[in-house]
Amino acid sequence: MINKETIEASIRLIRPTAKFIAVTHSSEFITEKDYPKDKHYYYVSLHDEYIDSNYFDFDNERILVCNTYAGSFIYNLGLCFYYCFNKNQNDTQLEEQTLNLLLKYNFKKFYAEQLYNLRNCIFSRAIFLETLIYEQENMIPIFKDLNEHNHQDPLVEEITSIGTNIFSVHEMGHHFFNESDKYWNTEIAEEHKVIFQDVLGKSGNHFSSKEKLELKCDFLALISCLENTKCDETSNIAILSYHAMSLLYSLKTSSEKTIKWLNDNHSQEEVDFKNIGKQKGTYEYVVETDTAMKDRANLMIQMCEKLSVSMGLKLYEQCNRIPLSKSHIKFLYKSMQEIMQSSNANQRAICRLLAEAFHSHTEGIEYLYLRSKIFKSNRSNLTL
C-alpha cells in the first residue's frame, strides 16, 4: 500500500488548484470479507474547478478521483426545481420566472468560474463580479428555506446523492470494467443489458470501444441511482442531473473557446490607474450547447425511462413533488443559452470598472472568489 500523504502530494502536482483533498482506502469502507484484494483502490475526494473526475493507476495501485465541483452545481440546479415546484404547496405549476433567474445564475456562475480559472483577465473578472454583486441574492431564499424547513427532506437527500453518484459511480465503472467484460457480463442484470443494447442500437450511431466504455460507466451510475431510490422522484432527479451535466460540459467547452478568442485578441491587458477615461475594447464570447454531450445525455435519458418502467418507478408528471415534463427540459437548455443577456447596461459597466480595478490584484479577487462559494467540510482545520 502507498502512504496516503504520497498520494495527496501526487494529486496536488496533477491538480494544483484542487481543494479539500481527502484520501481513503477502500478497505476502510468495504467490509465484505470475500472482497478480492486486487479490486481494492484508493478513493480521493476533492474540489477542483477542472471539473473532471478520473481513474488511473499509480505505482501498481488504483486511484479513483471523485471531484465534487460539478456535482455541487448539479445539486444547486436540482434545488432550483425543488424550490420552485414546492414554493407554493397549493399550486403545483412551476414558477417559471423564478426558475429562470435561478438557473441562469447557477449556469452563469459556473461559466464565470470556468473563465476565471482558465485566465484571470478583465472579462472573466467582470462576469464573475456580475454574479457576485447582482445575481447571487436569487439563491438566498432557497438556502434559507432549506436550512429552516427542509434540510432533512428525503427528496433533498436524493438530489445530493444523485449529483454525487453520477460522477463517483461512473469512475467506479472504469475500475470494474478496466480489464475485461467479466464484471459487465456477470454483475449487470440481463434485462438491464438488453435495455442498454436496445437504446444504443436504435440511436443509429457507431460507438468506438472507448465511447462504449464511457456509456457503460454512465449506465452503471444510472442503475446505482435507480436501485437505491429513496423517493418517488428519483428518476426525474436523474433525468435532470444528466441534462444538467451535459450543459455544464457545454459551458466548459464554451469557456475554452471564449478564452481562446481572448488570448488571440486581448493577449496583453494594461490598466492606467491615473487615467479617468473609459477603457476601450469589446469582447466576444461563446455560449453554446455541446452536441456530443447532449447526445450522450439523451442516451442516458432513454435508458432511464426504460429502466424506470421495468423497475416500476414513477416518471415525469407521475411524480407529485417534481412533476417534470419535456417542456421543463427545454426550459433548462433555454436558460443556459440566456446567461449573458443583461437588461441593465449600468450594472455591466460597473462590473467591468471593478474588474479593471482588480488588475494586478490577484489576492483581492481570489479573496472574493473563495467567499462567493459555500464549502461544507467536517474538518476542523480547512486547508485549501
Number of domains the chain contains: 1
Residue 11 forms part of a structural domain: no
Q: What is the pLDDT of residues 171-182, one digit of tens each?
A: 989 888 876 688
More confident: 13 or 31? 13
Residue 195 forms part of a structural domain: no
pLDDT score of 124 more than 90: yes
pLDDT score of 382 more than 50: no
d(CA 136, CA 132): 6
More confident: 377 or 319? 319
SS3 207: coil
> What's at 65, amino acid-wise?
V
pLDDT score of 383 more than 60: no
Q: Angle formed by the axes of helices 122-130 and 96-118, to 10°?
A: 150
More confident: 384 or 97? 97
Q: Which residues contact 324 (CB under 8 A, 6 or more apart)?
A: 81, 236, 239, 240, 316, 317
Residue 142 forms part of a structural domain: yes
Residue 8 forms part of a structural domain: no
pLDDT score of 112 more than 70: yes
Residue 381 forms part of a structural domain: no
Q: What is the pLDDT of residues 39-80, one digit of tens each?
A: 789 999 999 998 888 888 888 888 999 999 999 999 999 999
Q: What is the pLDDT of residues 193-223, one digit of tens each?
A: 999 999 999 998 889 999 999 999 999 999 9
From the CB of residue 165, how many other CB atoms can be counted at a distance below 10 Å? Answer: 20
What is the rounded average pLDDT for all residues in the chain? 89
pLDDT score of 150 more than 90: no
| pLDDT band at 151; cut points 50, 70, 90 | low
> What's at 315, amino acid-wise?
L
More confident: 378 or 232? 232
Residue 189 forms part of a structural domain: no
Range name among 27-31, 124-128, 348-352 with the lowest pLDDT average: 27-31
* Cβ atoms of 163 and 78 closer than 8 Å: yes
SS3 70: helix
| Residue where the block lists cell 466504455 | 213
Q: What is the pLDDT of residues 291-348, one digit of tens each?
A: 999 999 999 999 999 999 999 999 999 998 899 998 899 999 999 999 999 888 999 9
pLDDT score of 3 more than 60: yes
SS3 285: coil
| pLDDT band at 89; cut points 50, 70, 90 | low
From the CB of residue 239, how many other CB atoms can be counted at a distance below 10 Å? Answer: 24
Residue 257 forms part of a structural domain: yes
Q: What residues make up the domain containing 348?
A: 70-164+221-268+278-371
Burial of 261 (0-12, 13-18, 19+ CB in 10 A): middle
From the CB of residue 56, how many other CB atoms can be counted at a distance below 10 Å? Answer: 12
d(CA 174, CA 160): 22
Give residue 179's pLDDT.
Answer: 63
Q: Which residues contact 56 (CB under 8 A, 6 or more apart)?
A: 62, 63, 65
Model confidence pTM above 0.95? no
| pLDDT band at 152; cut points 50, 70, 90 | confident
Give residue 54's pLDDT.
Answer: 85
Give residue 43's pLDDT.
Answer: 93
pLDDT score of 380 more than 80: no
